[in-house]
Amino acid sequence: MITAPLFDLKDRAFIVTGAGRGIGAELAAGLAEAGACVAVASRTEADCEAVAESIAGKGGRALAFPFDARDEAQCAALIAKTNQAFGRLDGAVVNHGIGLHRDALDTTRDEFADMLEGNLTSYFLMCRELGRRWVADGRSGAIVLMSSNASFLAYDELAAYGVSKAGVDQLCRQLAAEWAKHGIRVNAIGPGYMTASMKGIESIYDAPEVKAKVLPRIPAGRYGALRELLGATVYFLSDEAGYTTGQYLAIDGGYSLL
């Protein structure tokens, strides 16, 4: 009897948001390598197209879909376009987001609100539209939310960011509990210090003085490669994770253990 290989994503279709660069681009490429069709989605059209073209150039199947996750109508449109383009939609990696390094004393109301909108409300909107579509179609689905170990650890100057990511973790648990009856699974991944950071704050973590302070606190002794987030993502999206939902997995080289 011939069975499908473990973690098989061949001919499945997934959306990856925030896929124009960094973690999202790496995961979009990795899912395509695993045989999936990928909707490369982010706010910057040129970045989406570049990632999709790179995937296609390596024999994968990907299409670029620029959108703003803070707009619920655009979230719904992205889902509809992906369904139409690939004939199905099996899951999504909700990965977009923004960063802010600011002491809580200096964080303005607007900056705090922006963090919640960009990192939490937009996640809810994207997930809600996915859930509505799958429930209406009578289909199952899998969602991976990109969180951070800042969701449960306190870092200097990350009050607003950390609160927004803590909300992502609870969103994961809440949706997983509510939607399990529909066959919809929701899990979260929490990266630690990685070799690429969100746009606009890369220089902070690349600075030699910051690395000298941070690296001794990481048991693995290094920043994580973006590729090291792919295995968990593939697992959560695959049938092998059919009984796994509402879980958070820290991928941080052991940083959160100390």
- Other CB atoms within a 10 A radius of the CB of residue 118 amount to 19
Asked whether residue 257 is assigned to any structural domain, the reply reads no
Answer whether residue 2 shows pLDDT above 60. no
Torsion angle (degrees, nearest 10) of CA 125, 166, 206, 33: -50
Rounded Cα gap, residues 241 and 239, in angstroms: 5
Instruction: Band the pLDDT of 246: cuts 50, 70, 90.
Output: very high
3-state secondary structure (DSSP) of residue 9? coil
Q: How many residues does the chain have?
A: 258
Nearest to 254 by CA among 177, 191, 183: 191
The reported pLDDT for the residue numbered 242 is 97
Q: In which band, very low, low, confident or very high, does the pLDDT at 201 lie, cut at 50, 70 and 90? A: low
Question: Average pLDDT, stretch 84-105?
Answer: 97
Q: Which residues make Cβ contacts (< 8 Å) with residue 224, sequence separation at least 6?
A: 191, 192, 193, 194, 195, 251, 252, 253
- 1: pLDDT strictly greater than 60: no
What is the DSSP pairing of strand 37-42 with strand 248-251? unpaired
Task: Check which CATH number belongs to the domain holding 203 and give it.
Answer: 3.40.50.720
CA separation for the pair 3, 28 (Å, rounded): 26
| Between 95 and 8, the higher pLDDT residue | 95
Bridge partners of 64, per DSSP, are: 40
The pLDDT score that the predictor gives to residue 202 is: 63
155 as an active site residue: the answer is no
Three-state SS for 28-71 is: HHHHHHCCCEEEEEECCHHHHHHHHHHHHHCCCEEEEEECCCCC
Which of 161, 193, 248, 255 is catalytic? The answer is: 161
Quote the Cα angle for 41-148-155, to 5°. Answer: 135
Q: Is residue 199 one of the residues assigned to a domain?
A: yes
Q: Is residue 210 part of a domain?
A: yes
Q: Is residue 1 part of a domain?
A: no
Region 211-226 average pLDDT? 96
Check residue 223 and give its pLDDT: 96
3 domain residue, yes or no: no
For residue 7, tell me if it sits in a domain.
no
The range of the structural domain enclosing residue 63 comes to: 13-251
Domain contains 153: yes
pLDDT at residue 200 tops 80: no
Tell me, yes or no, whether 86 lies in a domain.
yes
CA distance 77 to 132: 13
| Average pLDDT rounded to a whole number, residues 218-230 | 97
Q: Would you place residue 205 in the very low, low, confident or very high pLDDT band (cuts 50, 70, 90)?
A: confident
Number of domains in the chain: 1
Q: Report the DSSP pairing between strands 91-94 and 141-146.
A: parallel
